[in-house]
Amino acid sequence: MKRAFKTKTFNRWMSKAGLEDDVLREAVAEMEQGLFDADLGSGLVKKRVGLSGKGKRGGARTIVATNYCGTWFFLFGYQKNERANISKRDEEVLKLLGAKLLRMNDSLITAAIMAGQIKEIAL
C-alpha cells in the first residue's frame, strides 16, 4: 500500500511557504516514476516542487525519505531563494531521521500520527 507522510516540522514550513498537499501528491507520483532531482543516499532524495506563481525551477526543494516501495516521508523543505542546498551535517541528521521513520511499523506510525509528530497525506 502506498503511503506518504510529512513531519511536524515540514508541515509547519509547508504552511509558511503556501504549499498544499496536492503538490506533494504530484511529487510522490513523479518520484514513483523515478523523477527526482538527486539521490542523496540512505533512502533520501531531493525533489523540486512548484510554489504558487514560481513553478519548480524557482520554487522549493524538499528532502524525502523513501524505501522506493510506496512509503514517502517529507522531512525538510526550503525555498531556492533561502539557500542553495542543505549542509552535510543537515544531510546526515536527515538520513538518521529518515532511516528511523522508514523502520516504523504500522502501529508505530499510528502512534506518531496520534502524537502529532507526523501527518498522513491522502494519496
64-80 burial, b at 16+ Cβ within 10 Å, e below that, comes to bbbeeeebbbbbbbbbb
Classified as helix, coil or strand, 8 is: helix
H or E element in which residue 11 lies: helix 8-17
pLDDT, one tens digit for every residue, the chain (123 residues): 899 999 999 999 999 998 999 999 999 999 999 999 999 999 999 999 988 666 666 689 999 999 988 899 999 999 877 887 899 999 999 999 999 999 999 999 999 999 999 999 998
- Output the CA angle 57-10-51, nearest 5 degrees: 25
Output the pTM of the full model: 0.93
